[in-house]
Chains A and B, each alone.
Chain A
Amino acid sequence: MIKINDLYFTYYPESENPQKALTAVSLSIKEGEFVSIIGQNGSGKTTLAKHLNAILTPTKGSVLIDGINTRNKENLWDVRKKVGMVFQNPENQIICSTVRSDISFGPENLGINRVEIENRVDKSIELMGLSKYQDYPPHMLSIGLKQKVTIAGVLAMGTKYIIFDEPTSMLDSLGKKEVFEVILNLRKKREVTIIYITHLMEEVLKSDRTIVMSEGKIVLDDSPKKIFSKLKILRSLSLDVPIIPDISSRLNKRGISIPSQIITTQEFVNCLKQL
Protein backbone atom coordinates (compact mmCIF):
# COMPACT_ATOMS: atom_id res chain seq x y z
CA MET A 1 0.00 0.00 0.00
CA ILE A 2 1.15 3.50 -0.84
CA LYS A 3 0.09 6.12 1.66
CA ILE A 4 0.53 9.84 1.07
CA ASN A 5 -0.29 12.05 3.95
CA ASP A 6 -0.84 15.81 3.62
CA LEU A 7 2.03 16.22 1.15
CA TYR A 8 3.39 19.68 0.30
CA PHE A 9 6.24 20.29 -2.09
CA THR A 10 7.97 23.51 -3.14
CA TYR A 11 10.69 23.81 -5.80
CA TYR A 12 13.61 26.14 -4.95
CA PRO A 13 12.25 26.81 -1.41
CA GLU A 14 15.25 28.96 -0.45
CA SER A 15 15.26 31.11 -3.59
CA GLU A 16 13.57 34.45 -4.25
CA ASN A 17 11.06 32.71 -6.42
CA PRO A 18 9.90 29.50 -4.70
CA GLN A 19 7.38 27.52 -6.74
CA LYS A 20 4.66 25.64 -4.90
CA ALA A 21 4.06 22.41 -6.79
CA LEU A 22 1.97 20.29 -4.44
CA THR A 23 -0.48 21.38 -1.77
CA ALA A 24 -2.10 19.13 0.84
CA VAL A 25 -2.14 15.96 -1.24
CA SER A 26 -3.46 12.91 0.63
CA LEU A 27 -3.94 9.61 -1.12
CA SER A 28 -3.84 5.82 -0.63
CA ILE A 29 -3.19 3.36 -3.42
CA LYS A 30 -3.96 -0.31 -2.79
CA GLU A 31 -1.98 -3.20 -4.19
CA GLY A 32 -3.12 -4.36 -7.62
CA GLU A 33 -4.90 -1.10 -8.44
CA PHE A 34 -4.56 0.63 -11.81
CA VAL A 35 -4.74 4.33 -11.02
CA SER A 36 -4.62 6.98 -13.75
CA ILE A 37 -3.58 10.56 -13.06
CA ILE A 38 -4.66 13.36 -15.40
CA GLY A 39 -4.24 17.13 -15.35
CA GLN A 40 -2.79 19.97 -17.40
CA ASN A 41 0.93 20.53 -17.87
CA GLY A 42 2.22 22.04 -14.67
CA SER A 43 -0.59 20.62 -12.48
CA GLY A 44 1.84 18.57 -10.36
CA LYS A 45 1.38 15.05 -11.78
CA THR A 46 5.04 14.35 -12.42
CA THR A 47 6.09 16.02 -9.16
CA LEU A 48 3.71 13.71 -7.32
CA ALA A 49 4.99 10.65 -9.21
CA LYS A 50 8.58 11.54 -8.38
CA HIS A 51 7.70 11.42 -4.69
CA LEU A 52 6.67 7.79 -4.95
CA ASN A 53 10.20 6.54 -5.61
CA ALA A 54 12.01 9.19 -3.63
CA ILE A 55 13.42 11.16 -6.57
CA LEU A 56 11.83 13.98 -4.58
CA THR A 57 11.03 14.02 -0.87
CA PRO A 58 8.27 16.06 0.77
CA THR A 59 8.74 19.65 1.90
CA LYS A 60 5.98 18.81 4.40
CA GLY A 61 3.93 15.67 5.03
CA SER A 62 4.90 12.07 4.33
CA VAL A 63 5.00 9.35 1.67
CA LEU A 64 4.96 5.75 2.90
CA ILE A 65 5.63 2.80 0.58
CA ASP A 66 4.50 -0.37 2.36
CA GLY A 67 5.16 1.53 5.56
CA ILE A 68 8.64 2.71 4.54
CA ASN A 69 9.07 6.45 4.83
CA THR A 70 10.72 7.94 1.73
CA ARG A 71 12.10 10.83 3.74
CA ASN A 72 14.88 8.79 5.39
CA LYS A 73 17.90 8.61 3.11
CA GLU A 74 18.83 5.12 4.34
CA ASN A 75 15.49 3.84 2.98
CA LEU A 76 16.24 5.01 -0.56
CA TRP A 77 17.21 1.60 -1.95
CA ASP A 78 14.31 -0.17 -0.27
CA VAL A 79 11.92 2.34 -1.82
CA ARG A 80 13.45 2.02 -5.29
CA LYS A 81 13.28 -1.78 -5.10
CA LYS A 82 9.55 -1.45 -4.61
CA VAL A 83 8.73 1.41 -6.97
CA GLY A 84 9.95 1.57 -10.57
CA MET A 85 9.43 4.37 -13.06
CA VAL A 86 8.96 4.52 -16.83
CA PHE A 87 9.46 7.96 -18.36
CA GLN A 88 7.91 9.64 -21.38
CA ASN A 89 10.98 9.42 -23.55
CA PRO A 90 12.63 5.97 -23.59
CA GLU A 91 15.84 7.55 -24.92
CA ASN A 92 16.41 8.95 -21.43
CA GLN A 93 16.32 5.53 -19.90
CA ILE A 94 18.24 3.20 -22.24
CA ILE A 95 21.99 2.93 -21.69
CA CYS A 96 23.37 -0.45 -22.75
CA SER A 97 24.46 -1.73 -26.14
CA THR A 98 22.00 -4.60 -26.51
CA VAL A 99 18.38 -5.00 -25.52
CA ARG A 100 19.18 -7.91 -23.22
CA SER A 101 21.99 -6.18 -21.39
CA ASP A 102 19.87 -3.08 -20.96
CA ILE A 103 17.09 -5.08 -19.34
CA SER A 104 19.66 -6.80 -17.08
CA PHE A 105 21.18 -3.54 -15.92
CA GLY A 106 18.58 -2.78 -13.23
CA PRO A 107 18.55 -6.18 -11.50
CA GLU A 108 22.38 -6.38 -11.72
CA ASN A 109 22.51 -3.19 -9.67
CA LEU A 110 20.31 -4.72 -7.03
CA GLY A 111 23.02 -7.33 -6.36
CA ILE A 112 20.86 -10.34 -7.21
CA ASN A 113 22.57 -13.60 -8.19
CA ARG A 114 23.18 -14.31 -11.87
CA VAL A 115 20.74 -17.21 -12.28
CA GLU A 116 17.91 -15.21 -10.78
CA ILE A 117 18.78 -12.22 -13.01
CA GLU A 118 18.69 -14.36 -16.15
CA ASN A 119 15.32 -15.81 -15.10
CA ARG A 120 13.82 -12.43 -14.51
CA VAL A 121 15.20 -11.03 -17.76
CA ASP A 122 13.83 -13.98 -19.72
CA LYS A 123 10.45 -13.52 -18.15
CA SER A 124 10.28 -9.77 -18.86
CA ILE A 125 11.49 -10.23 -22.42
CA GLU A 126 8.72 -12.71 -23.01
CA LEU A 127 6.08 -10.56 -21.34
CA MET A 128 6.99 -7.57 -23.50
CA GLY A 129 7.23 -9.66 -26.69
CA LEU A 130 10.88 -8.75 -27.24
CA SER A 131 12.38 -12.23 -27.82
CA LYS A 132 13.13 -11.43 -31.44
CA TYR A 133 15.03 -8.30 -30.50
CA GLN A 134 17.04 -9.33 -27.45
CA ASP A 135 20.42 -9.08 -29.19
CA TYR A 136 19.60 -5.91 -31.12
CA PRO A 137 21.31 -2.65 -30.27
CA PRO A 138 18.46 -0.53 -28.82
CA HIS A 139 19.09 2.40 -31.19
CA MET A 140 18.01 0.19 -34.11
CA LEU A 141 14.53 -0.22 -32.62
CA SER A 142 11.49 1.95 -33.18
CA ILE A 143 10.59 4.23 -30.31
CA GLY A 144 7.62 1.99 -29.38
CA LEU A 145 9.90 -1.04 -29.03
CA LYS A 146 12.37 1.07 -27.05
CA GLN A 147 9.60 1.92 -24.63
CA LYS A 148 8.89 -1.81 -24.24
CA VAL A 149 12.58 -2.32 -23.43
CA THR A 150 12.39 0.24 -20.61
CA ILE A 151 9.25 -1.42 -19.23
CA ALA A 152 10.96 -4.84 -19.39
CA GLY A 153 13.90 -3.33 -17.48
CA VAL A 154 11.65 -2.08 -14.72
CA LEU A 155 9.81 -5.42 -14.54
CA ALA A 156 13.09 -7.31 -14.25
CA MET A 157 13.86 -5.32 -11.13
CA GLY A 158 10.84 -7.02 -9.59
CA THR A 159 9.22 -3.78 -8.47
CA LYS A 160 5.78 -4.06 -7.00
CA TYR A 161 4.64 -0.60 -8.04
CA ILE A 162 5.31 0.89 -11.46
CA ILE A 163 4.80 4.54 -12.28
CA PHE A 164 4.28 5.35 -15.93
CA ASP A 165 4.79 9.02 -16.81
CA GLU A 166 3.02 9.48 -20.17
CA PRO A 167 4.72 6.40 -21.61
CA THR A 168 2.86 6.57 -24.93
CA SER A 169 2.83 10.28 -25.63
CA MET A 170 5.93 10.28 -27.86
CA LEU A 171 4.81 7.23 -29.85
CA ASP A 172 2.92 6.99 -33.14
CA SER A 173 -0.61 5.61 -33.12
CA LEU A 174 0.40 1.99 -33.58
CA GLY A 175 3.19 2.26 -30.99
CA LYS A 176 0.72 3.82 -28.55
CA LYS A 177 -1.65 0.92 -29.00
CA GLU A 178 1.02 -1.75 -28.67
CA VAL A 179 2.67 -0.30 -25.59
CA PHE A 180 -0.67 0.31 -23.89
CA GLU A 181 -1.68 -3.26 -24.63
CA VAL A 182 1.37 -4.70 -22.84
CA ILE A 183 0.56 -2.45 -19.89
CA LEU A 184 -3.03 -3.71 -19.85
CA ASN A 185 -1.64 -7.23 -19.88
CA LEU A 186 0.40 -6.50 -16.77
CA ARG A 187 -2.72 -5.19 -15.16
CA LYS A 188 -4.66 -8.36 -15.96
CA LYS A 189 -2.09 -10.39 -14.10
CA ARG A 190 -2.50 -8.05 -11.11
CA GLU A 191 1.06 -8.72 -10.03
CA VAL A 192 1.97 -5.07 -10.16
CA THR A 193 0.25 -1.90 -9.07
CA ILE A 194 0.11 0.67 -11.86
CA ILE A 195 0.17 4.42 -11.44
CA TYR A 196 -0.36 5.87 -14.88
CA ILE A 197 0.00 9.53 -15.91
CA THR A 198 -1.59 10.33 -19.25
CA HIS A 199 -3.45 12.86 -21.38
CA LEU A 200 -5.23 10.22 -23.41
CA MET A 201 -8.81 9.72 -22.37
CA GLU A 202 -9.17 6.33 -24.03
CA GLU A 203 -6.36 5.10 -21.76
CA VAL A 204 -7.93 6.67 -18.69
CA LEU A 205 -11.18 4.82 -19.39
CA LYS A 206 -9.38 1.50 -18.86
CA SER A 207 -8.15 2.34 -15.37
CA ASP A 208 -9.86 1.42 -12.09
CA ARG A 209 -9.62 4.87 -10.65
CA THR A 210 -8.74 8.35 -11.89
CA ILE A 211 -7.15 11.20 -10.02
CA VAL A 212 -7.53 14.66 -11.52
CA MET A 213 -4.93 17.24 -10.51
CA SER A 214 -4.97 20.98 -10.90
CA GLU A 215 -2.55 23.56 -9.52
CA GLY A 216 -0.86 21.05 -7.25
CA LYS A 217 -4.05 19.72 -5.68
CA ILE A 218 -6.19 16.65 -6.15
CA VAL A 219 -9.51 17.99 -7.41
CA LEU A 220 -11.29 14.72 -8.26
CA ASP A 221 -10.67 11.10 -7.26
CA ASP A 222 -13.26 8.71 -8.62
CA SER A 223 -14.00 6.05 -11.23
CA PRO A 224 -13.20 7.25 -14.78
CA LYS A 225 -16.87 6.88 -15.68
CA LYS A 226 -18.01 9.25 -12.97
CA ILE A 227 -15.24 11.70 -13.83
CA PHE A 228 -16.13 11.86 -17.50
CA SER A 229 -19.72 12.68 -16.71
CA LYS A 230 -18.49 15.93 -15.15
CA LEU A 231 -17.97 17.78 -18.41
CA LYS A 232 -18.07 21.26 -16.93
CA ILE A 233 -15.26 20.53 -14.49
CA LEU A 234 -13.14 18.81 -17.16
CA ARG A 235 -13.58 21.77 -19.50
CA SER A 236 -12.81 24.29 -16.77
CA LEU A 237 -9.54 22.43 -16.17
CA SER A 238 -8.82 22.49 -19.94
CA LEU A 239 -8.79 18.70 -20.12
CA ASP A 240 -9.85 16.74 -23.15
CA VAL A 241 -13.41 15.57 -23.20
CA PRO A 242 -13.85 12.09 -24.72
CA ILE A 243 -15.88 11.95 -27.89
CA ILE A 244 -19.07 10.39 -26.50
CA PRO A 245 -19.67 12.92 -23.70
CA ASP A 246 -18.75 15.65 -26.22
CA ILE A 247 -21.25 14.65 -28.90
CA SER A 248 -23.90 13.90 -26.25
CA SER A 249 -23.68 17.36 -24.76
CA ARG A 250 -23.84 18.92 -28.24
CA LEU A 251 -27.01 16.95 -29.01
CA ASN A 252 -28.48 17.83 -25.61
CA LYS A 253 -28.09 21.51 -26.44
CA ARG A 254 -30.15 20.96 -29.58
CA GLY A 255 -32.97 19.25 -27.77
CA ILE A 256 -32.04 15.59 -28.19
CA SER A 257 -31.67 14.35 -24.66
CA ILE A 258 -28.89 11.93 -23.80
CA PRO A 259 -28.11 11.27 -20.12
CA SER A 260 -24.73 12.52 -18.86
CA GLN A 261 -23.61 9.12 -17.55
CA ILE A 262 -23.35 7.77 -21.14
CA ILE A 263 -19.59 7.31 -21.73
CA THR A 264 -18.95 4.32 -23.98
CA THR A 265 -19.83 3.94 -27.65
CA GLN A 266 -22.08 0.98 -26.86
CA GLU A 267 -24.09 2.94 -24.32
CA PHE A 268 -24.39 5.81 -26.77
CA VAL A 269 -25.64 3.61 -29.59
CA ASN A 270 -28.18 1.91 -27.30
CA CYS A 271 -29.40 5.24 -26.07
CA LEU A 272 -29.88 6.61 -29.61
CA LYS A 273 -31.80 3.51 -30.63
CA GLN A 274 -34.29 4.04 -27.83
CA LEU A 275 -35.08 7.58 -28.92
Chain B
Amino acid sequence: MSKAIIKVENLFHSYMQGTPFEKEVLHGLSFEVYHGEKLAIVGPTQSGKSTLLQYFNAIFIPKKGRVIVDEQDTKDSRLNLKELRRKVAMLFQHPDSQLFKETVADDIAFGLKNMNFPEEVIEITIKKALATVSLDSNEFFYRYIFSLSGGEKKKVAIAGILALDPEILILDDPTAGLDPKGRVDFLNSIKFLHDKLGLTTIFVSSNMNDVVELADRVMILVDGKIEMIDIPENIFIKREKLLSYGLTLPSVVELVDELIKSGINVDEKIINIDQLEESLFEIFKNKNSEKEID
Protein backbone atom coordinates (compact mmCIF):
# COMPACT_ATOMS: atom_id res chain seq x y z
CA MET B 1 0.00 0.00 0.00
CA SER B 2 1.45 3.35 -0.95
CA LYS B 3 1.69 6.18 1.54
CA ALA B 4 -1.12 8.47 2.58
CA ILE B 5 -1.20 11.96 1.05
CA ILE B 6 -4.31 13.00 3.01
CA LYS B 7 -5.18 11.91 6.53
CA VAL B 8 -8.53 12.73 8.08
CA GLU B 9 -8.82 12.07 11.81
CA ASN B 10 -12.07 12.12 13.73
CA LEU B 11 -13.53 14.99 11.68
CA PHE B 12 -16.80 16.60 12.76
CA HIS B 13 -18.74 19.35 11.00
CA SER B 14 -21.79 21.33 12.05
CA TYR B 15 -23.73 23.95 10.14
CA MET B 16 -25.01 27.08 11.86
CA GLN B 17 -22.97 26.33 14.94
CA GLY B 18 -24.05 28.18 18.05
CA THR B 19 -27.58 28.80 16.75
CA PRO B 20 -30.81 26.90 17.52
CA PHE B 21 -30.56 25.50 13.95
CA GLU B 22 -27.19 23.86 14.61
CA LYS B 23 -26.95 20.59 12.74
CA GLU B 24 -24.07 18.16 12.83
CA VAL B 25 -23.51 16.79 9.33
CA LEU B 26 -20.17 14.94 9.63
CA HIS B 27 -19.88 12.67 12.64
CA GLY B 28 -16.25 11.85 13.34
CA LEU B 29 -14.78 10.67 10.02
CA SER B 30 -11.38 8.99 9.90
CA PHE B 31 -9.73 7.74 6.71
CA GLU B 32 -6.66 8.09 4.51
CA VAL B 33 -6.25 8.88 0.84
CA TYR B 34 -3.24 7.18 -0.73
CA HIS B 35 -0.76 8.85 -3.01
CA GLY B 36 -1.71 8.30 -6.68
CA GLU B 37 -5.11 6.71 -6.13
CA LYS B 38 -8.53 7.64 -7.48
CA LEU B 39 -10.99 7.65 -4.62
CA ALA B 40 -14.72 7.94 -5.30
CA ILE B 41 -17.01 9.38 -2.64
CA VAL B 42 -20.56 8.15 -3.10
CA GLY B 43 -23.63 8.85 -1.03
CA PRO B 44 -27.26 9.94 -1.19
CA THR B 45 -28.06 13.68 -1.22
CA GLN B 46 -27.24 15.48 2.00
CA SER B 47 -24.86 12.77 3.15
CA GLY B 48 -22.12 15.37 3.62
CA LYS B 49 -20.09 14.71 0.46
CA SER B 50 -19.68 18.30 -0.70
CA THR B 51 -19.00 19.45 2.87
CA LEU B 52 -16.24 16.88 3.20
CA LEU B 53 -14.64 17.93 -0.10
CA GLN B 54 -14.21 21.47 1.18
CA TYR B 55 -11.88 20.28 3.94
CA PHE B 56 -9.26 19.02 1.50
CA ASN B 57 -8.18 22.46 0.34
CA ALA B 58 -8.93 24.26 3.58
CA ILE B 59 -12.10 26.07 2.51
CA PHE B 60 -13.25 24.59 5.83
CA ILE B 61 -10.85 24.25 8.77
CA PRO B 62 -11.77 21.57 11.33
CA LYS B 63 -13.22 22.82 14.60
CA LYS B 64 -13.14 19.26 15.85
CA GLY B 65 -10.80 16.64 14.38
CA ARG B 66 -7.83 17.02 12.03
CA VAL B 67 -7.16 17.09 8.30
CA ILE B 68 -3.57 16.58 7.22
CA VAL B 69 -2.73 17.28 3.59
CA ASP B 70 0.73 16.32 2.42
CA GLU B 71 2.00 16.32 6.00
CA GLN B 72 0.56 19.73 6.81
CA ASP B 73 -2.20 20.16 9.35
CA THR B 74 -4.79 22.51 7.80
CA LYS B 75 -5.40 23.90 11.29
CA ASP B 76 -1.78 25.03 11.61
CA SER B 77 -1.61 28.84 11.67
CA ARG B 78 1.65 28.74 9.71
CA LEU B 79 -0.09 26.97 6.82
CA ASN B 80 0.58 28.58 3.43
CA LEU B 81 -2.99 28.62 2.11
CA LYS B 82 -2.07 29.82 -1.34
CA GLU B 83 0.42 27.00 -1.80
CA LEU B 84 -2.06 24.45 -0.44
CA ARG B 85 -4.75 25.57 -2.89
CA ARG B 86 -2.33 25.31 -5.79
CA LYS B 87 -1.44 21.81 -4.70
CA VAL B 88 -5.05 20.77 -4.10
CA ALA B 89 -7.17 21.86 -7.07
CA MET B 90 -10.93 21.86 -6.89
CA LEU B 91 -13.34 21.45 -9.79
CA PHE B 92 -16.85 22.48 -8.89
CA GLN B 93 -19.93 20.78 -10.23
CA HIS B 94 -20.98 23.71 -12.38
CA PRO B 95 -18.13 25.07 -14.51
CA ASP B 96 -20.03 28.36 -14.57
CA SER B 97 -19.16 28.84 -10.92
CA GLN B 98 -15.48 28.85 -11.73
CA LEU B 99 -15.18 30.44 -15.17
CA PHE B 100 -15.65 34.18 -15.14
CA LYS B 101 -13.31 35.79 -17.64
CA GLU B 102 -14.34 36.58 -21.17
CA THR B 103 -12.08 34.22 -23.13
CA VAL B 104 -10.55 30.81 -22.53
CA ALA B 105 -6.99 32.19 -22.44
CA ASP B 106 -7.89 34.98 -20.00
CA ASP B 107 -9.64 32.58 -17.73
CA ILE B 108 -6.74 30.15 -17.51
CA ALA B 109 -4.27 33.03 -17.17
CA PHE B 110 -6.13 34.39 -14.16
CA GLY B 111 -4.94 31.67 -11.80
CA LEU B 112 -1.43 31.79 -13.17
CA LYS B 113 -1.17 35.54 -12.61
CA ASN B 114 -2.45 35.14 -9.08
CA MET B 115 0.26 32.60 -8.43
CA ASN B 116 2.85 35.06 -9.81
CA PHE B 117 3.83 33.02 -12.84
CA PRO B 118 6.25 35.06 -14.97
CA GLU B 119 4.48 36.74 -17.91
CA GLU B 120 6.65 34.99 -20.53
CA VAL B 121 5.65 31.45 -19.52
CA ILE B 122 1.93 32.12 -19.17
CA GLU B 123 1.02 31.66 -22.83
CA ILE B 124 2.94 28.43 -23.20
CA THR B 125 1.52 27.10 -19.92
CA ILE B 126 -2.03 27.80 -21.14
CA LYS B 127 -1.36 25.99 -24.40
CA LYS B 128 0.09 23.01 -22.59
CA ALA B 129 -2.91 22.84 -20.23
CA LEU B 130 -5.35 22.98 -23.16
CA ALA B 131 -3.46 20.17 -24.87
CA THR B 132 -3.72 17.96 -21.77
CA VAL B 133 -7.52 18.16 -21.86
CA SER B 134 -7.42 17.64 -25.66
CA LEU B 135 -8.63 21.07 -26.66
CA ASP B 136 -6.84 22.44 -29.73
CA SER B 137 -5.27 25.77 -28.72
CA ASN B 138 -5.59 27.18 -32.25
CA GLU B 139 -9.34 26.74 -31.98
CA PHE B 140 -9.91 27.47 -28.31
CA PHE B 141 -7.30 29.99 -27.12
CA TYR B 142 -9.35 33.07 -28.01
CA ARG B 143 -12.81 31.48 -27.84
CA TYR B 144 -15.46 33.25 -25.76
CA ILE B 145 -16.46 31.24 -22.70
CA PHE B 146 -20.17 31.72 -23.42
CA SER B 147 -19.80 30.10 -26.86
CA LEU B 148 -18.54 26.82 -25.36
CA SER B 149 -20.68 23.71 -24.81
CA GLY B 150 -21.10 22.34 -21.28
CA GLY B 151 -18.45 19.69 -21.88
CA GLU B 152 -15.97 22.19 -23.28
CA LYS B 153 -16.52 24.51 -20.32
CA LYS B 154 -15.74 21.65 -17.95
CA LYS B 155 -12.53 20.97 -19.84
CA VAL B 156 -11.52 24.63 -19.73
CA ALA B 157 -12.19 24.69 -15.99
CA ILE B 158 -9.97 21.67 -15.53
CA ALA B 159 -7.28 23.13 -17.81
CA GLY B 160 -7.40 26.20 -15.56
CA ILE B 161 -6.54 24.18 -12.49
CA LEU B 162 -4.05 21.90 -14.26
CA ALA B 163 -2.09 24.92 -15.41
CA LEU B 164 -1.23 25.50 -11.75
CA ASP B 165 0.47 22.09 -11.60
CA PRO B 166 -1.60 20.56 -8.80
CA GLU B 167 -0.86 17.29 -7.02
CA ILE B 168 -4.38 16.47 -5.86
CA LEU B 169 -7.58 16.90 -7.88
CA ILE B 170 -10.91 17.29 -6.11
CA LEU B 171 -13.85 16.84 -8.48
CA ASP B 172 -17.45 17.44 -7.44
CA ASP B 173 -19.69 15.27 -9.63
CA PRO B 174 -17.54 15.93 -12.69
CA THR B 175 -19.72 14.31 -15.37
CA ALA B 176 -23.15 15.62 -14.27
CA GLY B 177 -24.77 17.47 -17.14
CA LEU B 178 -22.28 16.28 -19.78
CA ASP B 179 -23.53 14.52 -22.91
CA PRO B 180 -22.34 10.95 -23.54
CA LYS B 181 -19.42 12.01 -25.71
CA GLY B 182 -18.43 14.75 -23.28
CA ARG B 183 -18.53 12.20 -20.47
CA VAL B 184 -16.31 9.68 -22.25
CA ASP B 185 -13.83 12.39 -23.28
CA PHE B 186 -13.72 13.73 -19.77
CA LEU B 187 -13.18 10.34 -18.11
CA ASN B 188 -10.44 9.56 -20.61
CA SER B 189 -8.65 12.82 -19.94
CA ILE B 190 -8.73 12.15 -16.18
CA LYS B 191 -7.31 8.65 -16.70
CA PHE B 192 -4.64 10.04 -18.99
CA LEU B 193 -3.64 12.73 -16.49
CA HIS B 194 -3.33 10.11 -13.82
CA ASP B 195 -1.07 7.88 -15.80
CA LYS B 196 1.01 10.78 -17.03
CA LEU B 197 1.27 13.06 -14.03
CA GLY B 198 0.70 10.64 -11.16
CA LEU B 199 -1.98 12.82 -9.58
CA THR B 200 -4.21 11.81 -6.70
CA THR B 201 -7.91 12.27 -7.41
CA ILE B 202 -10.87 12.41 -5.07
CA PHE B 203 -14.21 12.63 -6.83
CA VAL B 204 -17.82 12.74 -5.77
CA SER B 205 -20.12 11.01 -8.21
CA SER B 206 -23.80 10.25 -8.52
CA ASN B 207 -23.15 8.11 -11.58
CA MET B 208 -22.21 4.57 -10.56
CA ASN B 209 -20.99 3.82 -14.07
CA ASP B 210 -18.37 6.57 -13.63
CA VAL B 211 -17.35 5.02 -10.33
CA VAL B 212 -16.83 1.63 -11.97
CA GLU B 213 -14.84 3.18 -14.75
CA LEU B 214 -12.60 5.44 -12.72
CA ALA B 215 -12.28 4.53 -9.05
CA ASP B 216 -9.51 2.52 -7.39
CA ARG B 217 -11.42 2.70 -4.09
CA VAL B 218 -14.92 3.79 -3.14
CA MET B 219 -16.13 5.45 0.03
CA ILE B 220 -19.83 5.14 0.85
CA LEU B 221 -20.86 8.13 2.93
CA VAL B 222 -24.33 8.04 4.51
CA ASP B 223 -25.68 10.66 6.92
CA GLY B 224 -22.20 11.96 7.63
CA LYS B 225 -20.73 8.55 8.46
CA ILE B 226 -18.47 6.27 6.45
CA GLU B 227 -20.39 3.05 5.91
CA MET B 228 -17.79 1.38 3.71
CA ILE B 229 -14.46 2.17 2.11
CA ASP B 230 -13.00 -0.50 -0.15
CA ILE B 231 -12.16 -1.51 -3.72
CA PRO B 232 -15.14 -1.36 -6.14
CA GLU B 233 -15.54 -5.16 -6.38
CA ASN B 234 -16.03 -5.41 -2.62
CA ILE B 235 -18.41 -2.46 -2.53
CA PHE B 236 -20.75 -3.48 -5.34
CA ILE B 237 -21.08 -7.03 -4.05
CA LYS B 238 -23.10 -5.57 -1.14
CA ARG B 239 -26.13 -4.83 -3.29
CA GLU B 240 -28.79 -4.79 -0.60
CA LYS B 241 -26.87 -2.41 1.63
CA LEU B 242 -26.28 0.03 -1.23
CA LEU B 243 -29.93 -0.02 -2.23
CA SER B 244 -31.00 0.50 1.39
CA TYR B 245 -28.91 3.71 1.44
CA GLY B 246 -30.92 4.96 -1.56
CA LEU B 247 -28.03 4.39 -4.00
CA THR B 248 -28.32 2.74 -7.38
CA LEU B 249 -26.16 -0.02 -8.85
CA PRO B 250 -23.97 0.22 -11.96
CA SER B 251 -25.94 -0.94 -15.02
CA VAL B 252 -23.62 -3.92 -15.53
CA VAL B 253 -24.25 -5.08 -11.94
CA GLU B 254 -28.03 -4.80 -12.45
CA LEU B 255 -27.75 -6.91 -15.58
CA VAL B 256 -25.55 -9.48 -13.80
CA ASP B 257 -28.27 -9.88 -11.15
CA GLU B 258 -30.96 -10.40 -13.79
CA LEU B 259 -28.82 -13.01 -15.53
CA ILE B 260 -28.14 -14.90 -12.30
CA LYS B 261 -31.83 -14.80 -11.40
CA SER B 262 -32.64 -16.45 -14.72
CA GLY B 263 -30.14 -19.20 -14.12
CA ILE B 264 -27.28 -17.90 -16.27
CA ASN B 265 -24.34 -18.28 -13.94
CA VAL B 266 -22.11 -15.32 -14.51
CA ASP B 267 -19.80 -14.29 -11.65
CA GLU B 268 -21.62 -12.01 -9.21
CA LYS B 269 -18.41 -10.04 -8.67
CA ILE B 270 -18.49 -8.66 -12.22
CA ILE B 271 -18.77 -4.86 -12.32
CA ASN B 272 -17.78 -3.79 -15.83
CA ILE B 273 -18.82 -4.68 -19.34
CA ASP B 274 -15.46 -6.17 -20.37
CA GLN B 275 -15.68 -8.69 -17.54
CA LEU B 276 -19.29 -9.46 -18.45
CA GLU B 277 -18.41 -10.02 -22.09
CA GLU B 278 -15.63 -12.43 -21.08
CA SER B 279 -17.85 -14.33 -18.69
CA LEU B 280 -20.76 -14.71 -21.15
CA PHE B 281 -18.34 -15.73 -23.87
CA GLU B 282 -16.90 -18.47 -21.65
CA ILE B 283 -20.40 -19.78 -20.85
CA PHE B 284 -21.82 -19.69 -24.35
CA LYS B 285 -18.89 -20.36 -26.69
CA ASN B 286 -19.19 -24.12 -26.29
CA LYS B 287 -22.95 -24.15 -26.69
CA ASN B 288 -22.53 -22.32 -29.94
CA SER B 289 -19.99 -24.81 -31.26
CA GLU B 290 -22.07 -27.77 -30.07
CA LYS B 291 -24.85 -26.42 -32.23
CA GLU B 292 -22.53 -26.20 -35.20
CA ILE B 293 -21.56 -29.84 -34.78
CA ASP B 294 -25.26 -30.81 -34.71
Contact = CB atoms under 8 A, between A and B. Distances in A.
A175 B47 CA distance: 14
A240 interface: yes
A250 B214 CA distance: 22
Interface in B234-264: 246-248, 251-252, 255, 258-259, 262-264
A42 B178 CA distance: 12
Nearest to B251: A243
A73 interface: no
B153 to A, nearest CB: 10
B292 to A, nearest CB: 10
Contact of B284 (A172, A240, A250, A275): A275
Contact of B262 (A172, A173, A273): A273
Contact of A238 (B46, B150, B181, B291): B181
B285 A199 contact: no
A243 B281 CA distance: 16
B54 interface: no
B273 A247 contact: yes
Given A41-B150, A172-B45, A251 B251 contact: no
Contact of B176 (A40, A170, A250): A170
B277 A250 contact: yes
Nearest to B151: A41
A196 B207 CA distance: 21
Nearest to B208: A173
B206 interface: yes
A255 B284 CA distance: 10
Interface string B32-61: 000000000000111000000000000000
Nearest to B180: A240
Interface in A228-246: 238-240, 243-244, 246
A174 interface: yes
A41 B179 contact: yes
A173 B176 CA distance: 11
Contact of B149 (A41, A142, A175, A247): A41
Contact of A251 (B151, B255, B264, B284): B284
Please indicate which of the listed interface residues B180, B246, B284 has the most CB atoms of chain A within 10 Å of its own CB: B180
Given A42-B149, A173-B247, A269 B280 contact: no
B65 interface: no
Contacts of B284: 251, 256, 272, 275
Contacts of B287: 275
Nearest to A17: B147
Nearest to B258: A265
Contacts of B44: 172, 174
A169 interface: yes
A173 B262 CA distance: 26
Given A166-B177, A174-B248, A268-B255, 14 more contacts: A41-B149, A142-B46, A171-B206, A172-B206, A173-B248, A174-B45, A174-B246, A238-B179, A240-B180, A243-B252, A247-B255, A254-B277, A254-B281, A269-B259
Interface of B: 44-46, 149-151, 176-182, 206-208, 246-248, 251-252, 255, 258-259, 262-264, 273, 276-277, 280-281, 284-285, 287-288, 291
22 contacts: A41-B178, A41-B182, A88-B177, A144-B45, A169-B177, A170-B176, A174-B44, A174-B45, A174-B247, A175-B45, A238-B181, A240-B180, A243-B252, A247-B276, A247-B277, A254-B285, A256-B281, A269-B259, A269-B262, A272-B264, A272-B284, A273-B263
